[in-house]
Amino acid sequence: MEHCDHQTLEDALAATEGEAVAALRAAGALLAPLRRFRTAAQVGDLRELRAALEDADRAVAELREKFTDAKKGWAFNAQQYLSSGQYNQEVMAAARKMGVSMFERDDRLFCYPALLRVVPSERVVAIDRRQERRIRPTVLVNLLKDLQDRPPRFRPQAFLSALFEGYSKLVSGHGNDLHDLLKLAPVVPLVDIYGLLTLLPGQAREYSKQEFARDIYLLHRGDVVTTRLGARVSFPISRGVRGKTLTVIDESGEQRRYYGIRFTQA
């Protein structure tokens, strides 16, 4: 059975799963005549040995046929499907059906608090920075649902400290003293902080700008606003400069924009 191009990945996998089950049943049916064949050889029952051998031969032929059907049946062009955007739509449809909130922006799926990016060449879905190979839509949505039920991995205090360190480096020209820095409290574009945090080669690929924006939102909506050194963070409302704003989709599907960051004395 060939899978049609218009099939969803869920349907194609369900069909192949059924063919695999049929092959497994055929494999199970092979065990009994093989055991009879072994027992007949052990005791020297020549009539039973011949009969068991013939039954095993038929079972092997049945298994070969079922396995060939399953192998030929998987004709799904996975890379093309993942690249076309159809997979994103299928996952979002599965999420809606299963009552899981999910939104798409800039070829990424946001399922609070996770960011998803399809990697067609690897046939995986990157969930934040972890590659997930279990990409059958219903399975993936269940994984995301479980992820939402766990305590978040986000560490606000550590992230806030990293932001303050980057902020301090960028405004050090205004004065090296911490008191002077917090008194002046200049606004620094968040994208400049991101650029500093991802200076090393490959870091921007490992930690995308979308993930950084998501982390800014998680910090902004939480209770941790003061560093251990007594600097209080704020995110001034501003339209900013074109190309220097960050956007993130919150858990209700609303778009939030961020431009700058400021630290003052708590």
pLDDT at residue 207 above 90? no
**Dihedral sign, Cα of residue 230, residue 236, residue 241, residue 242:** positive
Helix axes 190-197, 209-221, angle to 10 degrees: 120
Phi, psi of 168 (to 5 degrees): -60, -40
pLDDT band at 253 (very low <50, low <70, confident <90, very high): confident
Return d(Cα 140, Cα 132) in angstroms, integer: 9
Return d(Cα 162, Cα 169) in angstroms, integer: 11
Stronger pLDDT, 106 or 208, i.e. the higher one: 208
pLDDT tens digits, residue range 118-152?
Answer: 999 999 999 988 899 999 999 999 999 998 888 77
- How confident is the model at residue 239, as a pLDDT? 62
Q: Any idea what DSSP says for residue 151?
A: P
pLDDT band at 1 (very low <50, low <70, confident <90, very high): very low
Per the DSSP assignment, residues forming a β-bridge with 234 are 262
Going from N- to C-terminal start, the domains of the chain cover 9-75, 79-149, 156-265
- How confident is the model at residue 46, as a pLDDT? 95
- How confident is the model at residue 175, as a pLDDT? 54
pLDDT tens digits, residue range 159-199?
Answer: 999 999 999 988 876 555 777 777 778 899 999 999 999 98
- How confident is the model at residue 173, as a pLDDT? 65
Structure tokens at 206: 């490992």
User: Is the separation of the CB atoms in 123 and 156 below 8 Å?
Assistant: no
- How confident is the model at residue 202, as a pLDDT? 78
What size, in residues, is the chain? Answer: 266
Query: Which residue's entry shows tokens 């939104």?
Result: 103
Query: pLDDT averaged over the chain?
Result: 89
Kindly provide the b/e burial profile for residues 84-122, where b requires at least 16 CB atoms within 10 angstroms of the residue's own CB.
eeebbebbbebbeeeebbbbeeeebbbbbbbbbbbeeee
- How confident is the model at residue 4, as a pLDDT? 47
pLDDT at residue 156 above 60? yes
Give the amino acid at 39.
Answer: T
pLDDT band at 240 (very low <50, low <70, confident <90, very high): low
pLDDT band at 34 (very low <50, low <70, confident <90, very high): very high
Return d(Cα 62, Cα 231) in angstroms, integer: 73
pLDDT at residue 2 above 50? no
Task: Report the SS3 class of residue 262.
Answer: strand
Return d(Cα 126, Cα 38) in angstroms, integer: 49
Nearest to residue 239, comparing CAs of 219, 258, 220? 258
- What average pLDDT does the segment 49-63 reach? 97
Phi, psi of 99 (to 5 degrees): 75, 30
User: Is the separation of the CB atoms in 16 and 70 below 8 Å?
Assistant: yes
pLDDT at residue 258 above 60? yes
pLDDT at residue 242 above 70? no
Structure tokens at 62: 């049945």
pLDDT at residue 3 above 60? no
